[in-house]
Structure 1
Amino acid sequence: MGKVAQDQAKYVVEAKLEAGGIIEKSDIVGAIFGQTEGLLGEELDLRELKEKGKVGRMDLEIQRRDGKTEASIELPTSLDATDTALLGASLETIERAGPTGASIKVEKIRDDRNSKRDYIIKRAKQLMEDIEEEKPSKQEITDEIKGEVREKQVTDFRGFTAGPDAERNEEVVVVEGKADVTNLLKHGVKNAVAIGGTDVPSGISKIADDKDLTAFLDGDRGGDLILEEVKEKAEPRFVARAPEGKEVEELSKQELHEALRDKRPVKYAGSTDAEDDIDEELREGLLQSLDDLVATRAANVLNEDLEVEERAPVDKVENALRKADEASALVLDGEVDNSLVSMAEAYDVEYLGGMSRSDTASSSDLEILTREGLAEVISSQ
């Protein structure tokens, strides 16, 4: 005998029965099946429908009081909406149940698929959230691809783990380990060489014979120790340091490039800023010279006593250097860049000061200073 499972029903007919006397469940079931027989033809006969599994088990809840009976009726069906409505209407033709008069009123026909739809929507949201959590973002996919490419770019250079440009570049950046090389590659620096820790191999001295070394070290005590080890084997030309407490391998692009921009000649490696390396009187004198040049677009060549030897427009600064009897310092209302550094080095200038400094400006032969940097050091004293 076929039976429609409750969870397979499309609709549920909900009805109320009222009877004038005390009756049992069997009286109600008998009345419904008996009094609706033949009303709607064989196709909608309740017994036939139950045999075919088109209607399910009738659910009855009976209450008796004051000699009367009330019952809640639920009849699940897998029929379509029209046939279910006809079936529900047929229940309202009931006149008796057992030995007493009775009537049935259909309260509603419930679309049982709504609860299933609600469950489906709720569950689909949960599954979608799981998919979103597991699905990598475009950035994650890009980072993974780039990471694999960077791993393949890491190469061997004279026995050291290195970036792909270490062989052909005139300068190499000496770092501690492979993770540092990889992070530099990630941010576009391809000439790094890893020395493998505090026990620096002697082979670094051979690299120093034909390449300029910039030691790029962690901002901690370990970085200090490695610098001493490197200096015993091969004197680097410059030293760059990660921010205090940070390691090179964890630096962001901005932090990494700022650290390399601010690299110092190795002889000044003990301090963090050129402005800290000069004595107080010189620092204040140079700041005053720069203050005097604000908004003038001019440059002054200064002697050892910070007196003006020559003055010229910024774009004619080389003429001033050429004419000066002494060029201890050059200060200007403008930015210090590498072309200006090269010019100042050619005239043996010791101190080069400007209103600002380009990201790439550096020198091992002179001190590069900025008005802001001098002011900050003086104000902190």
Structure 2
Amino acid sequence: MGKISPVSAKYIIHATISIEGVVDRPDVIGAVFGQTEGLLGADLELRELQRSGRIGRIEVTYDTKGGKTHGTIQIPSSLDKAETAIVAAALEVIQRIGPCDAKIAIQKLEDVRISKRKQIIERAKELLHAWIDTSMPDSQELSDEVAHSVRMMEIQEYGKDRTPAGPAILESDEIIVVEGRADVLNLLKYGINNAIALNGTNIPADVVDLCKQKTVTLFVDGDRGGDLIIKAMLSVADIDYIAKAPDGKEVEEITQKEILKALRGRIAVEQAKLETNEKGEQQPVQQQENQQGYRENFNHAERRESRDIHNRPRENRDRGRESRDNRDSRSRIRPEIRMPRREPEQQRSFSPEQAAKFKKTGEELVGTRGACIFDEKLNVLGKVPLTELYGTLKNINSGIEAIVFDGSIDRELVMLAENANVKILIGMESSVRPGEARLKIATI
């Protein structure tokens, strides 16, 4: 007898059987063939359909309990949909199986091709993914790779000590002093071409002379060696700013985002000197706070005020020992430290949820020149380029709780934000003191 396997069928008929008695599998199969014989005509005779391979093997599973038998019937079919439905309906006319009353109910008609189609789709996705990974890069990837290679080739040597440097070291008004050649290469990789290396703690004389002509940012590793470089440079060279890589990382290994964040958080060398401890070790507290996230002006005011009070008696004794001319000269070169206005408690406080949310958003926005707008539940209402922020605020007058953006807070922006009923404004820097506005102002 010719049969077809279930895997070659297009459809499967699923039915349940309930029998008022105890029967065997041959009784069920015999009832299916016997009680449908001649019912559907010669073309749909089940025995002939099975011989021709258009109906597959009838699978019967059953369980007998309490003198009654319950089970399922599965019949694979390669007929068309209409003929398969007719055969399925014919099964429900069976009323007796063996000597017992019985009832057969069709549960569903399954299209086997649907499951096969899903399997094909999943496999096609896997093949396409593997193909894309091994295919040729697009034009943008090619151009980026070429640009990176060219930048890496642009490294030059400066002075008689042949110090590694970027191609723009002479024409640029500002330079970045790093520790080694690998640091210069990493900065070149991301388009920063005004860096020059020290090659150790033995500072080259050419670098010292160059520092006298340029605005200098010293960019060191975030470890003990970086602190030693800072001490060495401060003793021999004219440095304007100091920046550090994240703790435990070196400049040569950090990403573009980390580089931009560190350079944006640089501190003035005068401030770094004020934060030197009694042993002369460099402790750039301000730099660490910039790298960690949000800082608020009133904290800096309290720390500076504390230092001024602590140092005032020593300064008075020094003034008593020195002449008026020396005192006047020292006061002219001493950096001016202005105390920020104390802002009200409600002005500067943030909830832990707000602080965490704003800190994370600020770190993500560094270098993007974008702005993120939040509602009162700290849901993101939208992200806009910084160039569109002013226009957005002009068209909105409510519903904004906070704005975090990669830019500077100025008076015009504060006025627009107040008119739009914004409660919190957070930027990278600010020319407006927190106490001069009705809304909360903070910097990253």
TM-score (norm: length of structure 1): 0.54
Cα shift at 1:3:
0.3
Secondary structure of 1:280's aligned partner: helix
| 1:60 corresponds to | 60
Amino acid paired to 1:152: V
Percent pairwise identity: 27
- Does the alignment pair 1:263 with 2:261? no
Deviations 1:189-214 (A, max 9, x none): 4311123344x48xx32344455374
Q: Counterpart of 2:183?
A: 180
1:116 matched to 2:115: yes
Quick check: 2:56–2:77 contact (8 Å CA) kept in 1? yes
Instruction: Determine the structure 2 residue equivalent to 1:161.
Output: 164
Deviations 1:108-163 (A, max 9, x none): 23435599389769x959x79x97xx99xxxxx99998687456324122333322
Contact 2:176 2:195 in 1 (8 A): yes
Which position in structure 1 is the counterpart of 2:356? none
Q: Secondary structure at the match of 1:16?
A: strand
Residue 254 in structure 1 maps to residue 261 in structure 2:
yes
User: 1 CA distance for matches of 2:65 and 2:51?
Assistant: 35
Shift of 1:282: 8.7
Aligned to 2:357: none
Task: Tell me which residue corresponds to 2:376.
Answer: none
CA distance in 1, matches of 2:82, 2:226: 83
Whether the 8 Å CA contact 1:91–1:104 is kept in 2: the answer is no
- Aligned match of 1:281: 312
Counterpart residue type for residue 12 of structure 1? I
Q: Report 1:23-172 matches (<5 A).
A: 23-62=23-62, 72-94=72-94, 97=97, 100=99, 102-111=101-110, 113=112, 116=115, 149-150=147-148, 152-154=150-152, 155-158=155-158, 159-169=162-172, 172=175
| 1:176 shift after superposition | 1.1
1:142 and 1:281 map into 2 onto residues whose CA distance is: 60
- Aligned partner of 1:346 in structure 2 is none
Q: Is the 8 A contact 2:31 2:94 kept in 1?
A: yes
CA contact (8 A) 1:176 1:196 kept: yes
What is the distance in 2 between the residues matched to 1:65 and 1:175? 85
Checking the alignment, whether the CA contact within 8 Å between 1:49 and 1:55 is kept in structure 2 is yes
- Kindly state the Cα deviation for residue 105 of structure 1 after the two structures are TM-superposed: 2.5
Question: Is the 8 Å Cα contact of residues 241 and 263 (structure 1) preserved in structure 2?
Answer: no
Aligned to 1:351: 334
Structure 1 CA distance for aligned equivalents of residues 105 and 272 of structure 2: 95
Q: For the Cα contact (< 8 Å) 1:153–1:164, is it kept in 2?
A: no
Alignment correspondent of 1:242: 244
Using the size of structure 2 for normalisation, the TM-score is 0.48
Are the structure 2 counterparts of residues 170 and 45 from structure 1 closer, same or farther at C-alpha, using a change threshold of 3 Å? same
How far has the Cα of 1:171 moved from its partner?
5.4
Cα separation, partners in 2 of 1:247 and 1:25, compared to 1, 3 Å? closer
- CA contact under 8 A between 2:10 and 2:76: conserved in structure 1? yes
Q: How many residues align?
A: 286
Give 2:226's match in structure 1, choosing from 220, 223, 226: 223
Which deviates more, 263-272 or 78-87?
Answer: 263-272
Residue 86 of structure 1: how far off its partner (Å): 1.3
Structure label with greater radius of gyration: 1
What does residue 375 of structure 1 align with? Answer: none
Q: Give me the whole-angstrom Cα distance separating, in 2, the residues matched to 1:280 and 1:124.
A: 72
User: What letter corresponds to residue 257 of structure 1 in structure 2?
Assistant: R
Moved more, 37-46 or 216-225: 216-225
- Matches of 1:15 and 1:97, distance apart in 2: 13
Alignment check: 8 A CA contact 1:6 1:56 kept: no
CA offset at residue 103 of structure 1? 4.4
| Contact 1:181/1:192 (8 A) holds in 2 | yes
- 2:73 partner SS: strand
Name the CA shift for 1:183/1:277 in 2 (closer, same or farther; >3 Å): farther
CA distance in 2, matches of 1:62, 1:16: 8
Task: Describe the SS at the equivalent of 1:13.
Answer: strand
| C-alpha distance in 1 between matches for 2:183 and 2:308 | 29
CA distance in 1, matches of 2:308, 2:191: 31
Higher relative contact order (Cα pairs below 8 Å, separated by 6+ residues):
1
Alignment CA distance shift 1:29-1:355 (3 Å): same
